[in-house]
Amino acid sequence: MNMLVEQVRADLLAFSRRPETLFFTVFLPVIFLVLFEAIFGGQSVTLAGGDVIAQSYLQVPAFMVMGVISASFVALSITVVNRRETGIFKRVRGTPAPAWLLIAGQVVTSLVIALLMVIVMLALGSFAYGVRVDVGHLPWLVAGVLIGAIAFSCLGMMLAALTPSTEAAPPLANVVVLPLYFISGVFVPIESLPTWLGNIASWLPVAPFVKVATWAYVPATTTPWRALGLLIAWGMLGLIIASWRFRWTPRRS
Amino acid sequence: MPAAISVTGLVKRYGDHAVVDGLDLEVQQGEVFAFLGKNGAGKTTTTEILEGYRTRDGGDVSVLGEDPATAGASWRAKLGIVLQESRPLGALTVNETLRLFAAYFPNPHTVDEVIQLVGLEEQANQRAGRLSGGQVRRLDVGIALIGRPELVFLDEPTTGFDPEARRQFWDVISGLRDLGTTVFLTTHYMDEAQVLADRVAVLRDGKIAALGTPAELQALRGDVEIRFALPHGVELAALPALSTQPRLTGGEVRVETTAPTADLAVLCSWAEARGLELPALTVERPTLEDVFLAISGETT
């Protein structure tokens, strides 16, 4: 247990001292929310059920999801590839530290950052844009974000396992994630997409996550069991591929 | 006292090519053992098999009484490993890095003890990413020492060091010997082996080509080299008959001989009779470097 505490402490310290990851993970989703609120904040949308709500109710959870994915998927895969290619993982595998510790260190670290993103977005939404989560839905939000963050950590491990080099890690992660943000209701409301594109997106992992988070803010719709199930399925797929292709030593050796 | 490392008939193949081809080796406890060979001779492959990183295709290996292929965490707790290529996390300080690695081991040194051992007192609160190459390598050794290892592997630890940094590093290794730690050192610097090692093994084509103390290895080549510049106006053919044929390279005459006294006497009386001086006359035993180059199959 002490080992895990020390590992997470060191991983968090290292994370907080890398300005580029800190910017892309923590600040970028916040900047996006602020910009989107400045541009679209006054507008309202008509939901499928006919209710009309302020667009902020969709934007705050959407960028919260972006923050969580940045921490658990983008930052995690980049860090894991970097540790593998610089020989840090190999080095630790030569000590009595168990293999799970390194994975747990990374996942717990990304969960802590994800949680931080949730808190920042909750506060920003509530105090700056008047968008509040019903207290009864808060546990749902926390559980949904936790499941999403774990699922995306598994997918991040998968991406790391498939990424050949340190240089390839940031572009690969962004190439995967940016188009998904567009078609999954983060940058653009999912209602304004062509039906076929919306249908494809609804099976990919980002849209279900957005749906789960939005549900906590807009509780009128039915419980998103299907979306939760999809998230878990994607997480398990990521885990299977990650454990099949994962390696501790640099690719070049 | 059982050997720290014992290897018989070790074989490792990559495809059809045997990188390690029937290697036998024994390293005693408390010994500083240098493992030499040119690039591609199988040094790192052998070392990584001993460390438990790579599997082998044949032979018996025992490191601290266990087979590295199957040994677990309690065995790893007795090892310290410095890899040929690895960088510590640049964002963490020396202190923080050592503190993290200490948490991996059941009975670690304190961070301060290790910092003192590797001489990084002034850099303790500096981030690893801002250390010089030599300081990073010393931090690497510090990481390897934090768990109070009985056996330390160092794979080419001083490659790319300036002379000052290498000398400081050697002091650290000498300190390990005083602690009674067994050291398995891979290097391609002869002087390093000569200064540090109790025994030296030279690897060639995946086998041990020579093994002994630095002095024993040096004695392997019994010949001595007489060198002098060819006196002005004298042809090589005009020199007197010696026990071996002299060679001329760049105006310098070299005589590799097993009878230096007799050859020198002939040369000197020949020169004296003609009133000639033999410029830059030297008589040298081959250095360990020369011996290594000869054994490892490198040409001078």
Band (B142; pLDDT cuts 50, 70, 90): very high
Q: Which of A69, A89, A86 is nearest to A24 (CA)?
A: A69
Please state whether beta strands B182-187 and B32-36 pair in parallel, antiparallel, or not at all (unpaired): parallel
Name beta bridge partners: B283: B226
Average pLDDT over residues B118-128: 93
Say what the ipTM of the complex is.
0.88
pLDDT for B81 equals 94
Which chain A residues are Cβ-neighbours of B105 within 8 angstroms? 95-96
Give the residue carrying structure tokens 């020199």: B239
Which of A2, A6, A98 comes nearest B73 by C-beta? A98
pLDDT at A30: 93
Flag whether pLDDT at B300 surpasses 50. Answer: no
**Residues 6 or more apart whose Cβ sits within 8 Å of residue A219:** A134, A137
- Rg of chain B, C-alpha, whole Å: 24
Q: What single-letter DSSP state applies at residue B241?
A: P
DSSP string, A202-235: HHSSHHHHHHHHHHHH-TTSPP-HHHHHHHHHHH
**E-strand spans in chain B?**
5-14, 17-27, 32-36, 58-63, 79-82, 151-155, 182-187, 199-204, 207-212, 224-229, 247-249, 252-257, 282-284
Q: Which of A154-168, B29-43, B173-187, B228-242 has the highest mean pLDDT?
A: A154-168
| A174-178, B34-38, B109-113: range with lowest mean pLDDT | B34-38
Nearest CA in chain A to B96: A10
Question: Which segment, A46-60, B142-156, B160-174, is predicted with the most confidence on average?
Answer: B142-156
Section A188-209 average pLDDT: 89
**pLDDT the model gives residue A151:** 96
Report which listed range, A50-54, A168-172, B220-224, B244-248, is most confident: A168-172
Which chain B residue lies closest to A84 (C-alpha atoms)? B86
Best CA proximity match to B137, nearest among B192, B182, B191: B192
- Please tell me the predicted confidence (pLDDT) of residue A220: 62
Residue-by-residue DSSP string for A60-85: HHHHHHHHHHIIIIIIHHHHHHHHHH
B103·A86 Cβ contact <8 A? no
> How much of chain B exceeds pLDDT 70, in percent?
98
Question: 10 Å Cβ neighbour count for B234?
Answer: 14
Model confidence band, residue B86 (pLDDT cutoffs 50, 70, 90): confident
Chain mean pLDDT for chain A: 90
Q: Do B143 and A91 touch (CB under 8 A)?
A: yes
Under 8 Å between Cβ of A120 and A68: no
What percent of chain B has a predicted confidence (pLDDT) above 90? 44
**A107 confidence band (pLDDT: 50, 70, 90):** very high
CB atoms closer than 10 angstroms to residue A65: 33
Tell me, yes or no, if A96 comes closer than 8 A to chain B by beta carbon. Answer: yes
Mean pLDDT over B159-170 rounds to 81
- Sort out which chain A residues have CB atoms less than 8 A from B89's CB and list them: 10, 14, 83, 88
Helices A225-245 and A138-162 meet at what angle, rounded to 10? 30
Among the listed residues A5, A169, A161, A143, the one whose alpha carbon sits nearest the alpha carbon of residue A75:
A169
pLDDT, tens only, B247-294: 888 888 888 888 888 888 888 988 888 888 888 888 887 777 777 777
- Contact assignment for B127 to A17 by CB distance below 8 Å: yes
Q: What is the pLDDT of residue B298?
A: 57
pLDDT at residue B230 tops 80: yes
- Are residues B147 and A95, on separate chains, in Cβ contact within 8 Å? yes
CB-based contact B219:B76 (threshold 8 Å): no
HSE, CB side, 13 Å, CA atoms: give it for residue A16.
Answer: 10
Q: Are B104 and A96 in contact (CB < 8 Å)? A: yes
Element (H, E) at A52: strand A52-54
As a whole number of Å, the end-to-end CA separation of chain B is 41
Taking Cα atoms as reference points, which of B274, B282, B281 lies closest to residue B239?
B274
- pLDDT exceeds 50 at position B299: no
Testing the interface with B: which of A91, A106, A166 to mutate, by most B Cβ within 10 A? A91
Residue A82 in tokens: 């970097």
Residues in B 69-98 with any Cβ partner in A closer than 8 A: 73-74, 76-77, 79, 81, 83, 85-89, 91-92, 96-97
Residue B29 confidence (pLDDT) above 70: yes
The pair of three-digit structure tokens given for residue B194, joined into one six-digit string: 């000569």
pLDDT tens per residue, range B129-140: 999 888 898 899
What's the mean pLDDT in A138-157? 92
CA B25-B199-B105 angle, 5° bins: 70
Q: Which amino acid is at B163?
A: P
Confidence band for A253, pLDDT divided at 50, 70 and 90: low
- Cα B147 from Cα B144, distance rounded (Å): 7
Spatial CA neighbour of B38 closest among B221, B190, B154, B170: B190
CB atoms within 10 A of CB B244: 14
Between B273 and B86, residue with greater pLDDT: B273
Categorize the per-residue pLDDT at A162 as very low, low, confident or very high, splitting at 50, 70 and 90: very high
Residue B82's pLDDT band (boundaries 50, 70, 90)?
A: very high
Beta strands at A44-46 and B5-14: parallel, antiparallel or unpaired: unpaired
The answer to whether A17 contacts chain B (CB < 8 Å) is: yes
d(CA A24, CA A20): 6
Q: Do B53 and A90 touch (CB under 8 A)?
A: yes
pLDDT of residue B218: 79
Q: A211-250, pLDDT tens digit by residue?
A: 999 888 886 667 788 999 999 999 999 999 998 888 888 8
